[in-house]
Amino acid sequence: MLQPVEFDHTAVRAACKRIFDERATHPWPIHSFDFPPAWRGILTELAREVRYDTDDVSVIETRFNSYLAQLQGAPVVPNYDYPHATRY
């Protein structure tokens, strides 16, 4: 199973902003992201391949959106699933 990794959130946020600015296809910050249906099978397969603790795409999507919220300054609250489309 994968082990949690600590990230430098400031560096990740800066890298996201730089990449979004360079590509100029979507604004940054994004506050939530709904995974496209075409990603479901790929994400399930990848999660199994890397032995992620779940292959449930809904859980992975919720975790991703929680991380987006944290990148935008939301407080880290253990075991709290940040709702979609919440602005921080």
Contact 64, 34 (CB under 8 A): no
**pTM of the complete model beyond 0.85:** no
Q: Helix, strand or coil for residue 82?
A: coil
Could you tell me if residue 24 is inside a domain? yes
Q: How far apart are CA 17 and CA 35, in angstroms?
A: 20
Tally of domains in the chain: 1
Pick the residue with more confidence: 78 or 60?
60
- The reply to whether 1 falls in a domain is no
Angstrom distance (rounded) from CA 4 to CA 24: 31
Q: Would 35 be classed as within a structural domain?
A: yes
Query: Tens of pLDDT along 16-46?
Result: 999 999 999 988 888 888 999 999 999 999 9
